[in-house]
Structure 1
Amino acid sequence: MRDDPTLQRLLREIAAGDQSALRALYDLTAPKLFGIVLRIQRDRSLAEDVLQDVYLKVWQAAGSYAPENGRPLPWLCAIARNRAIDGVRRKSEVQGPVHEDGEDWLERLADPRSSEGALLDRDALRVCLGRLDATQAECVMLAYCEGWSREELARRHDKPVNTIKTWLHRTLASLKGCLEGAR
């Protein structure tokens, strides 16, 4: 979906209050935005709710879209990503803090339809994560399973963003090496 003029026109029409333009935008972009939301949210029914929230936000914010600041699809994708992350955060606030041992994240990574090989991969991931520095492992899990930004991780750990970037890079490299050794 790279039809920028169409998306820009629809956003202008939405900003003017045209509900049919919102429907047309939904028809063109919902599959892409739902995929983004579902990768972050993981629960299909919650992801559907978040997608509704995305289009409500688009309805409210369409007038703030400025083509000179970027293409429309990345703007829409950013709204979807942010709404999905907000949903995950609200859910974790209700459920309480994330376990330090990473159990909740690992269980969430498991697909109930997965094969025995995928379960072995999950077990290998658990072993490899256990070999890492706990803080750095938590950063990787929060970044890649919960959608936290580097800036958010830097605030949480009171570290510079560049330190967090280095931690993420090195931790992923360590995980990759460990997982390759487990095969």
Structure 2
Amino acid sequence: MDHLRRSAQGDQQAFAAFYDAVAPRAYGLALRVVRDRDLAADVTQEALLDAWRGAGGYRRERGSVIGWVCSITHRRAVDLVRSTQSRRDRELRAGAASFGRDHDDVSEAVTDAEDRGRVADCLGALTALEHEAVTAAYYGGLSYREVADRLGAKLATVKSRMRTGLHRLLDCLGVE
């Protein structure tokens, strides 16, 4: 595909045309694997970014462009499903391990209050857009797209600001 070759050379308009041509198939595949529209959109975006970054590595003799993009998308979607399942399994094991232990309710309440205070202080250090995006997503339960709609910002901008904001929060909280 000529668009892919030109994308490999840094042509952003060619990549936009390439994206428009392959995104619907990639999204459909991602949706079948992850079974969530917002997650499928995220998987598709990440897979197509991978395709853009790796466009120079595409080899026609190994298969079609759409097959190559679908393999990247499938790998991303399966990785997401596996990591989500792994996280759930860890949480279940942690919950089962702590079940039945005696807990000092007062100590736990104080620790929770201290943690909330530290998080609030660190949230206050974010830019306005980072703060709004992070709080809407994590406290409001909104998806990236819903946050973008609420803030009247582009989806890519919201994702970028949230990523930056979360990294700044982790640094502020001293989390590695």
Q: TM-score, normalised by structure 1?
A: 0.47
Q: TM-score, normalised by structure 2?
A: 0.49
